[in-house]
Amino acid sequence: MIGFIIRRVLAMIPVLFLVALITFFMMKQAKGGPFDQEKEVAPSTIALLNRKFGLDKPAWLNSAEFSNRLSTEGNPFLALRGLFDSQFGNYLINAVQGDLGPTYASKGTETVQDKIKETFPISLRLGMISLAFALLVGFPLGILGALRQNTIFDYFSLIISTIGFSVPTFVTGLLLLLVMSKVFDVAPIKDPSVWQGFSTSYIPPAIILGLGTMAYITRLTRSSVLEVKRQDYIRTARAKGLGDRVVILRHILRNSLIPVITILGPAVAGLVTGSFIIESVFRVPGIGSEFIGAIGSRDYSMIMGSTLFFSLLVALGNIMVDLSYGLIDPRIRNS
Amino acid sequence: MAEAPLLEVKNLQVQFKTADGVVNAVNNVSFSVNRGETLGIVGESGSGKSVTSLSIMRLIPSPPGKIAGGQILFDGDNLVDFSESEMRKIRGNRISMIFQDPMTSLNPVLRIGRQMTESLQLHMGMTPKQARNRAIDLLSMVGIPAPDKRLDDFPHQFSGGMRQRVMIAMGLACNPELLIADEPTTALDVTIQAQILELLNRLKNETGTAIIFITHDLGVVAGMTDRVIVMYAGRVVEQASTNELFHNPRMPYTIGLLDSIPRLDGIQTRLTPIPGLPPDLLEKTERCPFAPRCDFVQEQCWSETPSLRQVAPEHTAACLFEIDREQRQAMAAKKIAEEQAALDAALEDVLAHEQAS
């Protein structure tokens, strides 16, 4: 078990490295830079800013610095540091030490990790509440649909999940805002301070955010329960004279959880990393809008930082899923 | 046989609604099982033997399936009229069932012990501790070594034969009066089959449980059962004691089945299979269902569904004519001779041609 976790954590290293590599490459391919403004900025200013943030160095490998150091020090191993005195190299070396760099948008007064620390807890809380909503509604709805197949309950669950799947969040979000303010006369747009700590303000955006996941869980649970329901061992359980409740709770549910758990890892990562649309509609100061904003303003370190952070979350989510497989299915535990 | 039979099935009718119409999976089936007796039900796939047994347990998937008529008298009570909750008190308790495929018939995520004790706690009101002890006894009874340790294992840690032993132990947990074994050895290796059959025979003698043994394997029937019914296309077509059926089969289908088994004593060297396929149960016409495949088919077979009639003491068969095994064998021998003669004639013809040219 411990060995398994260590192996999986070590396997994350090459994954994160590849993510950083690809992100950096794509970012560099995009035209423009972090200091471009609507009106012309003096080239000397840009040059100074670039030097301040190390953007004047080569993007990948600094061979000039390498040969420079090699000639002064003579030791090729120490000179290697010079080879990596590049934008990418310095970024990686700092990132490993927990420093994701300054945000260019703040002109270097704020670091990326500060920004994540400030906005991620809000997105995390929002994501957890929406996950709870998706599970607490989606799972029972799917079970109900499967157990009462082709009845009014099944169609009800189908309608709810189809809506959740197909109506985009900017529509459902705005509709919810409209209903809250016009019909119930509640002000849905809150003072930014309410987002610190749990509050009821989280509920409306969490419902909208969790709608898609809820719909997916509902459909997946339904088909999974239907599949398990006609297995031979369910017939065996009925042949033992067990009642419906025991057959469902003890024999059907645990077996039908397995496919649902598979999607939970990516789903959790997707929910806690925030959504630009929902954060805009409900004015939530979360990490999703920071990320989207960073792309627009070519805020290199913010793009790199949040992409790496999201990848880390997805990887961790998948490890959690693999661990919970073992809890549910003994066949996986032993292998 | 003064005692009333344990189970009496009378004119059972089971239908399945499908997209193409109503399928009569079981048609007017009647038979009985006495206490402590082993009855074999033989037939090919789709002959209605499994549906019959599931009907006794009232486990027909419904919809689309439905018991459309008849009675299932178990110890005097008609199970067809029982409510679902009354039925639950019978299942696993007084009648239990073991299924064909032990690889899929056990729940993969529950320990064997849990799966065995749940019916004990439910029907016999045992505490978890008592049930566990009883489960250990049952496992050692079916020949599983170190039963107290194996109880905490999961099904995937057992081999196929061992799983079927667990299934049998589960079936016998509450000392049922009737055990329905639906092709319990079909999915197993031949050597394991023999072990499982031996085990069932031993347990039958020890516990006195009546068994309905469903199989398509006549060899298994010969070693296991007291009486046999042969099913074809949802009907009972022959019913006799095992001995009588093997020595004096009277329905052409049974005769065909027996002629399809290789013999070890070398009397017959060539197997004569039954040509064709079983009929489509959707069509409902008045004729002998076996007529299209029968070697002895006559005009009358196409217009009348034969019902079971007495052909010997304690022996009924659903054939309009007096046909026995010698006739089919003579017929087969004649056919072989004719084929040989035709072949010879053709050869001679070829030779004659060659000589002429």
User: What secondary structure does DSSP assign to B114-129, as a single string?
Assistant: HHHHHHHHHHS---HH
CATH assignment of the domain containing A218? 1.10.3720.10
Residue A15 burial class via C-beta count within 10 angstroms: exposed 0-12, middle 13-18, buried 19 and up? middle
According to the model, what pLDDT value does residue A136 have? 92
Look up residue B216 and give its two tokens. Answer: 């398509």
Q: Which residues of A touch B92 (CB under 8 A)?
A: 239-242
Q: For residue A31, tell me if it sits in a domain.
A: no
Residue A60 and residue A154 in one domain: no
Regarding whether A122 and A86 lie in a shared domain, the answer is: no
Last residue of a domain, one of A59, A74, A99: A99
Q: Do both A60 and A150 map to the same domain?
A: no
* pLDDT > 50? residue B1: no
Tens-place pLDDT, residues B306-356:
888 888 888 888 888 887 777 877 877 888 888 888 888 899 988 888 888
B279/A207 Cα distance (integer angstroms): 57
Q: Do A217 and A168 sit in the same domain of this protein?
A: yes
Which of A102-111, A122-131, A231-240, A307-316 shows the lowest mean pLDDT across its residues? A102-111
Tens of pLDDT along B246-258? 888 888 888 888 8
Domain co-membership, A191 together with A56: no
Supply the pLDDT for residue B64.
83
Which residue numbers of A have CB closer than 8 Å to B's CBs?
A: 230-233, 235-243, 246, 250-251, 254-255, 328-331, 334
- Judge if A167 and A267 occupy the same domain: yes
Q: In the structure, what pLDDT confidence band is assigned to residue B212 with cuts at 50, 70 and 90?
A: very high
Q: What total of structural domains would you count in chain A?
A: 2
Nearest to A235 among B99, B123, B156 (CB): B99
Whether residue A207 sits in one domain with residue A62: no
Is the bond preceding residue B63 a cis peptide, omega within 30 degrees?
yes
**B7-244 classified as CATH 3.40.50.300:** yes
Choosing from A70, A99, A128, the residue where a domain stops is A99
Question: How large is the angle between the packed helices A87-96 and A2-29, nearest 10 degrees?
Answer: 150
Instruction: Please report where in the chains the tokens 């009570």 appear, as a residue.
Output: B77
CA angle B250, B251, B256 (to 5 degrees): 105
Residues B250, B312: contact at Cβ < 8 Å? yes
- Count how many pairs of residues, chain A against chain B, have C-beta atoms within 8 Å: 77
pLDDT at B36: 86
My answer on whether A330 and A302 are in the same domain is yes
Do residue A83 and residue A118 come from a single domain? no
Residue A335 has pLDDT above 60, yes or no: no
Segments forming the whole domain that contains residue A69: 38-99
Interfacial residues of B (vs A; Cβ cutoff 8 Å)? 57, 59, 61, 85, 87-93, 96-97, 99, 101, 104-110, 118-119, 122-123, 154, 156-157, 167, 170
Cβ contact, residue pair B99, A237, below 8 Å: no
- Establish if A13 belongs to a structural domain: no
Kindly state the average pLDDT of the residues A234-238.
89
- Residue A105 falls inside a structural domain: no
Q: How close does chain B come to A277, measured CA to CA in Å?
A: 41
Q: Which residues of B touch A248 (CB under 8 A)?
A: none
Residue B55's contacts (CB-CB under 8 Å, 6 or more residues apart) are B12, B14, B26, B67, B72
Compare CB distances from A241 to B92, B99, B167 and report the shortest one's residue. Answer: B92
A241 → closest Cβ in B99, B101, B122: B122
Domain end position, chosen among A99, A120, A150: A99
Q: Which tens digit of pLDDT belongs to each residue from B217-247?
A: 888 888 888 899 999 888 888 999 988 888 8
CB nearest A242 (choices: B105, B122, B167): B122
Work out the angle at residue B218's Cα, subtended by the Cα atoms of residues B215 and B223, and round it to the nearest 5 degrees. Answer: 95
Looking at residues A82-89, what average pLDDT do you find? 77
Q: Is residue A66 part of a domain?
A: yes
d(CA B321, CA B301): 9
pLDDT band at residue B169 under the 50/70/90 scheme: confident
The 10s digit of each residue's pLDDT in A247-286 is 888 889 888 888 888 888 788 888 888 777 888 777 778 7
The distance in angstroms from the start CA to the end CA of chain A is 11
| β-pairing verdict for B38-42 and B178-182 | unpaired
Cross-strand bridge partners of residue B78:
B73
Question: Do the chains contact at A233 and B88, CB–CB below 8 Å?
Answer: no
Confidence of residue B180 (pLDDT cuts 50, 70, 90): very high
A191 and A282 in a common domain: yes
| Domain presence at residue A7 | no
Domain assignment present for residue A311? The answer is: yes
Contact A255 B108 (CB under 8 A): yes
- Which is higher by pLDDT, A57 or A242? A242
Cβ–Cβ < 8 Å for B302, B291: yes
Cβ–Cβ gap A236/B57 under 8 Å: no
Tell me how far apart the alpha carbons of residues B239 and B332 are, in angstroms, rounded to a whole number: 25
- Residue A293, CA distances (Å) to A125, A299, A302, B149, B227 in order: 21, 8, 9, 61, 82
Interface ipTM? 0.81
Residue A9 lies in a domain: no
Same domain for A63 and A166, yes or no, is no
Check pLDDT > 80 for residue A103.
no
Mark whether A152 and A193 lie in a shared domain: yes
Q: Which residues have CB under 8 Å from A109's CB, separation 6+?
A: A102
Position A188 confidence tier, pLDDT thresholds 50, 70, 90: low
- Mean pLDDT, rounded, for A288-300: 79
Find the range with the poorest average confidence among A255-259, B39-43, B237-241, B274-278.
B274-278
Kindly report the backbone phi and psi dihedral angles of residue B77, in degrees, each rounded to the nearest multiple of 5, phi listed first: -95, 140
pLDDT at res. B312: 83
Closest CA to B199 of B150, B144, B254, B258: B144
Asked whether the predicted pLDDT for residue A187 surpasses 70, the reply is no
pLDDT band at B278 (very low <50, low <70, confident <90, very high): confident
* Residue A292 belongs to some domain of the structure: yes
Q: What b/e sequence results for B222-247 when a residue is b if at least 16 CB atoms lie within 10 Å of its CB, and e otherwise?
A: eebbbbbbbbbbbbbbbbbbbebbbe
Given a contact cutoff of 8 angstroms between Cβ atoms, the answer to whether B7 and B70 are in contact is no
CB contact under 8 Å between B119 and A241, yes or no, is yes
